[in-house]
Chains A and B, each alone.
Chain A
């Protein structure tokens, strides 16, 4: 079988099998896992330049549909399917109501998105991915909230894809073809003549991509949906599905390479605008994240904040910008996957998502603790873990263009991310263990394998980033840019300098050993129960204090919250909700036309007729 086709058909077959056997949860999960693995095997059979076309008799034409493989699609396919294997393997022991057959449909759609050579299949796959993920989100931990989250996502997602649909037709009616390549080159050819028109088309497409990636101002659905989706699906949402938008951007971003458009600080102005969207997203995500008490929501904000970094980097679209963006996309997949998998492991053990009800869990779940720790270290960009290199490169790319203000924003966001990561880290794992969790156990063997694997990957790709930078370099050169120089797997070559990650790793290890020795030798420990702390001899119950209030992270950033309160009154979320409410209100009013009274209906019909006749008369 053709490998390209196999990447679409195998998940669909697996999905059908999983749907039929969905009653037996273990079998269903096993099928999901095996299908992901089988799809991955077929991935070895595809190479850059592979092409598969077929003809579809539609719209009265014989349309050519196609699948094609570019270095970018190979990169995305490997990344997403490999992560899917890890996640579905973990899910073998996970009990949330995630429907495997929908995940497999999403996989088929995802593969198709990355391979499609024409806009029809791209849109088909995009919508398929849309609805299968929407249906998946129904069935989260909390019923009503998960329904709300899914509907919010659905509205945004469908709105976005309709905007893309209009863009597709505006474009294809001019070029007479649906092929992505010819449409993009058409846009390039008219860019200097009709820049506003091109910008209009691009915004229709970019709206869809921004919504899918959760870029400001369309980020509002992300916390609701990530927060309420079934636990087993959240890692996929954040690690894999947010990348579709990135892929979409990368289809259209090469536009400004060859054309003569006005520039700002050496950047074509559409790119400059996108860069600002990215930077603002990074800040908004970080600032909102550190006020969350719900751990899934916190990392939802964190997730799209990182997407802001990625967008800012790829918007620059120089060799270093593109490399940095793709590298950060990979790292984001890895560390966000690790964070979310450990987080859902914790949630499944403690049964709550509120951080103020957790605490001290490192004693019970040491491996989870360690994986989470390395995950957030990577997310914060602490060397030598994955995540450091890409952030470092992003800053280099920004500074090399002299984008001072955007760089400051990203720095600010990076520091803010320390704040919320620290909070989550402390609130979940450090501090005192509540008595409720005396019986909590470490994750099952399957969970341990998954976590160790992710831990290993975070360290491995941190100290040997060359394994990822190599394929990224081939993507960069496929866009016609000159890739960054390479010098061994352990080096990251930036704009100003290069870093040897292995030596950094050794330094960090030595520092850690030194610090740990000091800690072990010098510090005096005394274990006290949770209630013994902070009260200074008062009886807590007299003051209406509950154990949660003693939790280290309870109202953790209260002063900061107060400072930021005026800014938070501006709610984009409120705009969308208000819009929805007014539509519903109008619906209620319109409904009253159909009163159920036949006289009214008769008047309506006669009235309509009279209006027509008058209209006819006037024109006559």
Chain B
């Protein structure tokens, strides 16, 4: 067991800074915003350091109480790649917020944002299923408030729907945790994972269903994703970007940490203990989500709503990738998760810039954007092409890997992938339609859009990253492969790294 306790700062610093932001806010509102940038910059570079110097996998032990007795953070390759992703997206959105968050309660907005990102990082790194619940509540509560931020009335409605559905989700999750605790008497993920086969199969199944249902809310899987369109559409654009770029990452992480590490039964393809195979259940949910998300997006006339539905559909893709249960499948899942977060966050930010210039968010309003701002048009196009999985952009490789993994698995996954590819054609239609509107139709007024520096920085950074991944897939590929290994080999990849002495049952 390798320990690296200083990494507790990854969770501690953002939460500490979040609650001290009101103090900075007394000095200046600008300072409060800059504090988020600095904190998330620290997070990002620290995570990058962990990645580049290959410090992972390691544990953070609190108060020298070794797991399973104490609480621990476990940062393996999967957590590392997601923490880098979350802190990078968070950093970029906080830079964007320097420009965009300038009305209303800016200080509390900064506080909530930082709390949300910190909570997500905690969610990803913790090694304890009850702490997962706590971090879920931290991110949840901050995101309800974030979603309600802004002058528009629809934000309140969206936030309320999110609150209701998400509360149901976390309650179900808590029930699931409770059932496991009554069976095994421990909350430590590694120990539960090692002893999962000692539980009563029926209760375990019930607990699994509760956990999947609860976590599917955050992972945006149908039928638990009713909140997605309204909340994404209602929230101000940087918040939508945060929810889809960071929030969903946390949701997916927890879902598959529980399914693959805790419930997982190693084999050629990971399945779960209990009476039904929860992985197949998630695959069905994922396919339904992809189809429903893409078809609903097709019928939308509002670009932001379209992005919301597409976000849902993409999470379905991610879920399908992981649910295949093979190494290749998890690889595709991680890869797709990274690509989606980066591209979708960027697209919401671009939409934010467009809207701030008084252009509406309907498809028709996108007409002739090329003549007003080639920069925004090209970056939006890069984002959509990446989501469509077209080459030169990151999404190409993840979709490629996803199809490979499904066909390797064979059986009924052949149908799943056929559905997915059909849905992708639908997706191609509506994204290319927007892009088409942007490139054609000279608008009546061709007033140029001057994008100032602070929103331009994240947009440029995101598009460079998308192209970089598209040209050099190994940037994400290498660590995704390690993450896939961690997920599919639960004893070697996770449990023994946390509790070296434990014996799997």
**Which chain A residues have a beta carbon within 8 Å of chain B's beta carbons?**
19, 22, 56-60, 120, 123-125, 127-128, 130-131, 134-135, 138-139, 143, 146-147, 150-151, 154-155, 158-159, 162, 165-166, 169-170, 172-173, 583-584, 586-588, 590-591, 593-594, 596, 598, 600-602, 604-609, 612-613, 615-616, 619-620
Contact = CB atoms under 8 A, between A and B. Distances in A.
Contact of B425 (A22, A56, A155, A584): A155
A220 to B, nearest CB: 16
A139 B407 contact: no
Given A591-B299, A605-B223, A147 B481 contact: no
Interface stretch (B95-103, B118-126, B389-397): B389-397
Contact of B478 (A19, A57, A134, A588): A57
Contacts of B281: 612, 615
Interface string B222-259: 11101111100000000000000000000000000000
Nearest to B385: A131
B408 interface: yes
Nearest to A127: B391
Contacts of A59: 328, 331, 401, 404, 477
Given A58-B397, A166-B417, A593-B292, A615 B429 contact: no
B202 interface: yes
B426 interface: yes
6 contacts: A147-B440, A169-B403, A587-B297, A601-B165, A605-B165, A605-B224
Contact of B161 (A127, A134, A601): A601
B205 A620 contact: yes
A147 B433 contact: yes
Contacts of A588: 299
B481 A594 contact: no
A60 B429 contact: no
B473 interface: yes
Contacts of B417: 166
A134 B396 CA distance: 17
A143 B202 CA distance: 61
Contact of B396 (A127, A146, A159): A127
A605 B217 contact: yes
Interface residues of B, number: 80
A615 B277 CA distance: 11
B206 interface: yes
Given A155-B425, A169-B403, A169-B404, A135 B481 contact: no
B288 to A, nearest CB: 10
A591 B300 contact: yes
Contact of B390 (A131, A600, A609): A131
B425 A138 contact: no
B298 A587 contact: yes
Given A608-B224, A615-B276, A602 B428 contact: no
**Lowest 7 CB-CB distances: which A-B pairs, in order?**
A601-B226, A587-B298, A608-B223, A57-B474, A587-B295, A587-B299, A604-B223
A56 B473 contact: yes
Given A151-B429, A605-B165, A616 B404 contact: no
Interface string B280-313: 0100000000011011111110000000000000
A155 B275 contact: no
A608 B298 contact: no
A180 B338 CA distance: 30
Interface string B197-236: 0000110011001101100110000111011111000000
Nearest to B480: A60
A600 B224 CA distance: 11
A591 B428 CA distance: 18
Contact of A128 (B274, B392, B403): B392
Contacts of B478: 57
B39 to A, nearest CB: 33
A616 B206 contact: yes
Given A134-B432, A587-B296, A601-B164, A139 B439 contact: yes
Nearest to B421: A162
Contacts of B295: 583, 586-587, 590-591
Given A59-B331, A594-B229, A150 B432 contact: yes
Contact of B403 (A159, A166, A609): A166
B296 A128 contact: no
Nearest to A170: B407
A135 B391 contact: no
A128 B385 CA distance: 10
A460 B253 CA distance: 66
Contact of B292 (A57, A131, A166, A590): A590
Interface string B161-182: 1001100110010000000000
B351 interface: no
Given A596-B230, A602-B168, A608 B433 contact: no
Contacts of A57: 473-474, 477-478
B404 A130 contact: no
Contacts of A127: 390-391, 396
A154 B390 contact: no
A596 B439 CA distance: 32
Nearest to B368: A143
Contacts of B381: 135
A354 to B, nearest CB: 21
A139 to B, nearest CB: 6
B296 A590 contact: yes
Given A128-B390, A135-B381, A591-B300, A609 B424 contact: no
A609 B426 contact: no
B327 interface: yes
A107 B297 CA distance: 33
A125 B400 CA distance: 13
B212 A612 contact: yes
A256 B498 CA distance: 57
B41 interface: no
Contact of B426 (A138, A146, A583, A593): A583
Contact of B439 (A135, A584, A590): A135
A146 B440 contact: yes
A531 B293 CA distance: 60
Contact of A593 (B165, B294, B296): B296
B440 A139 contact: yes
B428 A138 contact: no
Nearest to A140: B440
A58 B436 contact: no
A620 B202 contact: yes
B484 interface: yes
Contacts of B392: 128
A147 B437 CA distance: 8
Contacts of B34: none
Contacts of B22: none
B360 to A, nearest CB: 19
Max chain B Cβ within 10 angstroms of own Cβ: one of A159, A590, A602, A606 = A590
